[in-house]
């Protein structure tokens, strides 16, 4: 018993130290966003004096911060919707529908996860350039409606935990596969869908490379690209307080989504057996 308690104390101590190492920079960012530029390099976490001028200056700059925010939200939402729809449909086929070569096809799908996404950048750019879509948001969210290996695998693992007796009972009652998918499997897979939605939205929201390639123009680009340009301007101007206010606002949607869906997120990851 004493050994177990000692091990638990050591484990909790290490977890606490790790949590502090991750949380302190986050609190420093929030604190700096409310400091005066003259106090931006001070070590105190409590701003003295407290000011909102950094946020006022952020929305007063030439770069339309509101437009960048809305662009990022629209693109991230479209990518999330596309992944949730296509990956859940593919997962249902691989988990429920029996057809010849299912396991081989699923293995081939998982093998695509070994291919770096950088390999497809040039072919995709050529295709979207031929379609005259460069400079628009379509190249960013349209590929999400083609499905994805990780999302399909995640939802499939959860579908496999649903008792097949429900499927057999629904088939006896005359339900078709689309009806079973929408009425039984999709409502029961909310935890896995929440986990996939958070993973997808976070990746799309923080993506810098693809918007920089397809939407490099400042007024119509995303928040990540705008903050990258803004960082160069603020670095030369020395106003890191304004930069920290922009960084804090940029992560607010991710924090809000995680706190609203953290229960379903943790349950979906735990039941699907996926770690990332």
Q: Using an 8 Å Cβ cutoff, are 47 and 160 in contact? A: no
Cis peptide before 49 (omega within 30 of 0): yes
Q: Where are the domains of the chain?
A: 1-51, 62-272
The pLDDT, as a whole number, for residue 37 is 78
Q: Is 48 exposed, middle or buried (0-12, 13-18, 19+ CB in 10 A)?
A: exposed
Q: Which two tokens stand for residue 233?
A: 């301007």
Q: Residue 140: its pLDDT value, please?
A: 92
- Note if the pTM is more than 0.85: no
Rounded mean pLDDT for each run of 10 residues along the chain, 276 residues in total: 75 87 84 82 79 81 78 93 94 89 90 86 91 90 91 90 85 86 88 88 90 80 83 65 83 81 63 48
Q: Which fold has domain 62-272?
A: MetI-like fold (1.10.3720)
Distances 184 to 115, 166, 196 between C-alpha atoms, Å = 34, 8, 19
Whole-number Å distance between alpha carbons of 140 and 120: 13
pLDDT of amino acid 2 = 64
Distance CA 154, CA 87 (A): 9
Place of tokens 């499927």: 167
């Amino acid at each position: 018993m004493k050994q177990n308690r000692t091990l638990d104390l050591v484990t909790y101590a290490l977890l606490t130290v790790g949590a502090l190492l991750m949380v302190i920079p986050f609190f420093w960012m929030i604190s700096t966003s409310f400091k005066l530029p003259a106090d931006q390099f001070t070590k105190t976490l409590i701003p003295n004096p407290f000011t909102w001028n950094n946020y006022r200056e952020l929305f007063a700059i030439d770069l339309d911060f509101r437009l960048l925010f809305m662009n990022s939200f629209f693109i991230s939402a479209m990518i999330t919707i596309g992944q949730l729809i296509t990956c859940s449909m593919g997962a249902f086929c691989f988990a429920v529908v029996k057809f010849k070569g299912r396991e081989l096809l699923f293995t081939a799908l998982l093998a695509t996860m070994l291919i770096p996404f950088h390999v497809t950048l040039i072919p995709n750019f050529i295709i979207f350039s031929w379609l005259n879509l460069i400079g628009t948001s379509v190249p960013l969210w349209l590929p999400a409606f083609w499905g994805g290996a990780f999302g399909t695998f995640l939802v499939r693992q959860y579908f496999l935990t649903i008792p097949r007796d429900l499927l057999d009972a629904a088939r006896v009652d005359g339900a078709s596969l689309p009806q079973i998918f929408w009425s039984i499997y999709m409502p029961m897979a909310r935890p896995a869908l929440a986990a996939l939605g958070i993973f997808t939205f976070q990746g799309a929201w923080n993506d810098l490379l693809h918007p920089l390639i397809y939407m490099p123009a400042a007024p119509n680009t995303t928040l990540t690209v705008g903050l990258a340009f803004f960082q160069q301007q603020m670095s030369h101007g020395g106003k890191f307080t304004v930069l920290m206010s922009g960084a804090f606002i940029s992560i607010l949607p991710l924090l809000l989504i995680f706190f609203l869906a953290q229960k379903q997120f943790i349950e979906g990851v735990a039941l699907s057996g996926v770690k990332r």
